[in-house]
Structure 1
Amino acid sequence: MSNTIGNLFKGDKGIWMVFFFLCIVSIVEVYSASTMLTYKGGSYITPILKHIFLLGLGLTAMVVTANINCGYFKFLTPFVLGGAFVLLLVVLAIGTATNGAQRWINIGPIQFQPSELAKGALILSTAQILSSLQTENGADPRAFRYILGVCGGIIPFIMVENLSTAALLCAVILMMMFIGRVPMRQIGKLLGAVVILGAFMLSMIMMFGHAEEKTEPNKQNLTEQVQTESKKEKEKGAIGKVFHRFDTWKGRIDKFLDSKELTPKDVDLDEDAQESYAKVAIATSNVVGKGPGNSDQCDFISQAFSDFIYAIIIEEMGIEGAFGVAMLYIILLFRTGRIANRCETSFPAFLAMGLALLLVTQALFNMMVAVGMVPVTGQPLPLISRGGTSTITNCIYIGVILSISRSAKRKQELVVEPMPQNGDATSSATVSTTDNSDRADKADNAAE
């Protein structure tokens, strides 16, 4: 029985432990933070059962992926990249809008978010380009152009409806180019272009975005508001449909840059509810936390189970629990770095590091939003927040890392055996090669 389980759950044991700890935290905190879903659906058990089902589905996908030889991932690159491109076009044409963003495709009762697939496709493509054009002195200069070409065909379609995901993906690709030893001259030029483009985009948002004006609600104002909104929609036309997210982005930037201290009576709980109650949740944790399931502020945060779940973790588990969750992602990154360092070929190493950086960077974004360090981005906490597409795709990303830890060919290192101490003058130091995988397996067996 133990052999069967061991054959099923293959790969790095440390990453498996991190995954299971994250799942435990996820189940406890999503159950605690699903008050809004309970209110809407009328059942307190249905949301958590659905979440557990999705985690189970993700675990199944992860186990299947982990048992695939990592060499096959290279052959999937053109198919995954082409499929992501087509789905991004489809979602822009006939996608379903939620919370003002058109990011989902409905397939029967299932909602699918193509940007999640696109993230993995870009990392897979970047890893293959970097590995194919590696030289003794680093990546060939052509790799930079190829990576920009691939990103140019994917990222703009993500950016239209999901600027934070596009920015996150750009940051990860940049880190992969640095790890892949792309010439620093090219990276420097890219950073300069990014700064200029970022300044241009910010100026466009501030110029053409329209923050909503707050007015006292009454029947006359409501009628005027409906008529004004209808008129604006007609005036926008095709250009307005592309840049309709400018209003949302400007509102978030204005809110973040407004450093004025608000008194409790000045807080608009209709506009600032999530950020305000997240701060209350952190402030009332009293360092040690209230205990799992004892959150009070989850009743007032609409996305407590997703975008702001880290605030609920702090409220219930205190600073120690928040630090422990953050450390799980750090351990994931370091374990993946160890796996990548042992790979003999560069493709699995770049792929593993790219996926780990994606998960950890997204987690960092989510945590910074929850504590008010950056504007609201809408990024869930990987493997903890409640989600559909994101939960399953993140499990698949972990499965890819596990597959690499299990099946990637490992470096041969030189081991110098000590000279015998029996005084035999004819004896000399011998040099032999040892496969790191054998040594790692022995270490794992000893630890078990």
Structure 2
Amino acid sequence: MHVSIGLFFVYLASKVKYQKLTYIIYFLLPCVFILLVVTALGNNVIAGANASRWIKVPFINVTFQPSAMAFVILNMYIAHYLAKKADSKTPFDFKRSLLLLWLPIAAFVAVIIPANLSTGVLLLATNILLIFLGGYPIKYLLNVAGITAVLVILLVALATIFPDKLPSRFSTWKARIERFTADDEKQVDNYQTENANIAIATGKVFGLGPGKSVQRNFLPQSSSDFIFAIIVEEYGLFGAFLLIFVYLSLFFRFIINSIKVTDSFGRLLIYGLGFPIIIQAFVNMGVAVQLFPTTGQPLPLISSGGTSIWITCASIGVILSVTAQLSPKKEVEKTIKKPEKNEAEFNPTDEQVAEAFSVVEKNA
């Protein structure tokens, strides 16, 4: 059902001209921020578990994750800001960009991080990547990196000095980092990663077969955060490489189409909406094979969860809207005059051109 609705979102978004999205970006940006604040202050509990990342829609009893919407809306805003600068060819002003560019980013990240550190960090990373690709001066990026480093150091110092004064999520972050960096794995609780390793090792080359996973009965979040481990168990190393190939193919399509787009806003939209999908996919797979600490990031279009699927499909629909306005090859060929079937191509020499000019001059 989620995928079916997502495909409908792909169709709708692809039929909207991406230039018209500028009219709704500035309306949706504050709306999504308000939803993030409401979610952060809500202390929601769903099925007896803490659900501080989700918000429940009244009356229809449907939950969704506003932080997933933040990826799309914030990156669209950044793309539009950078595109305006590129089209006007005006240099960046650092102080002005702090207000118009970095303040919205800081506000979104600051609201998301207390409940979901990995999503906040991933959002900031994709924002910085988009800003870099958008031509923002590197010296200004270094200034922002310095400011961010100082804030992070202060936050770590406060967490160390006043551990009881900060939200409980800080202790969760600390525990995950300690588990990931521990030298003696026997001294820490690695229940999730151990079961993920068992699933991957059991899959071997060709896997146990579709639906024959055993570890999904023991591995928490086996249908979302650790779905890649279950895929390897059922489809083996062959299935894992096939899945990686699909995401890489999608990544290369994004790059190829961004090169073809001549409009700055369209090109940056492909960067801002397409690259986060690929980054999120490899973070999820990296967690399953212990390249990264546990983050809670879904595998796009595969992990369970309606919000992730719908937002990803909407992003792909916007990208299709950009690529749909590229001039098709046949239309370009029609504009080029070709010689008739029996007509030889005429390449005049310099002497023939000079003679033609003299004849035209005499006739005049």
TM-score interval, normalised by the smaller of the two chains: 0.7 to 0.9
Query: Do structure 1's residue 102 and structure 2's residue 20 form an aligned pair?
Result: no
Deviations along 1:346-372, one digit per CA (max 9) or x if unpaired, are 011101111111111111111111111
> Could you list the runs of 5+ residues in structure 1 that have no partner in the other structure?
1-52, 210-235, 429-448
The residue type paired with residue 105 of structure 2 is: C
1:70 equivalent in structure 2: 18
1:277 and 2:229 aligned:
no
**How much does 1:344 deviate?**
2.2
* Alpha-carbon distance in 2 for matches of 1:324, 1:205: 43
What does residue 92 of structure 1 align with? 40
Instruction: Report what 2:226 is aligned to.
Output: 308
Change (3 A) 1:421 1:104: closer
Task: Please give the residue correspondences for 1:338-353 in structure 2 after superposition, counting only pairs within 5 Å.
Answer: 338-353=256-271
Whole-angstrom distance in 2 between the partners of 1:314 and 1:103: 28
**Matched residue, 1:81:** 29
Deviations for 1:64-115, whole angstroms, at most 9, x for unmatched residues? Answer: 1111111111111111101101111211232514554511111132002111
- Offset, 1:319: 1.8
CA distance in 2, matches of 1:381, 1:188: 31
CA distance in 1, matches of 2:7, 2:144: 38
The 3-state SS of whatever aligns with 1:106 is: strand
Please tell me whether Structure 1 or Structure 2 has the larger radius of gyration of its CA atoms: 2
Contact 1:77–1:125 (Cα < 8 Å) also in 2: yes
> Take 1:97 and 1:161, find their aligned partners in 2: how far apart are those partners?
13
Q: Report the AA paired with residue 125 of structure 2.
A: A
* Paired residue total: 339
Residue 110 of structure 2, aligned match among 156, 174, 179: 156
What residue is the counterpart of 2:177 in the other structure?
Answer: 253
Cα-Cα RMSD: 2.9
* TM-score, structure 1 as length reference: 0.69
Amino acid corresponding to residue 178 of structure 1 in structure 2? F
| Distance apart, 1:390 and its partner CA | 1.2
- Alignment match of 2:288 (pick from 370, 386, 395): 370
Distance in 2, Cα, partners of 1:248 & 1:179: 34
The residue matched to 2:255 in structure 1 has which SS?
helix
For residues 375-411 of structure 1, give each alpha carbon's deviation from its aligned partner in whole angstroms, at most 9, with x where no partner exists: 1111111111000211111111111111111136799
- Verify the 8 A CA contact 1:275 1:372 in the aligned structure 2: yes
Instruction: String of CA shifts for 1:214-270, please: whole Å, max 9, x gaps.
Output: xxxxxxxxxxxxxxxxxxxxxx6xx55xx22112111111111112143xxx77xxx
Structure 2 gap segments, 5+ residues each: 355-364
* Separation of aligned partners in 2, 1:122 and 1:166: 12
Alpha-carbon deviation of 1:302?
A: 2.0
The one-letter code of the counterpart of 1:255 is: R
User: Which residue of 2 is the match for residue 132 of structure 1?
Assistant: 84
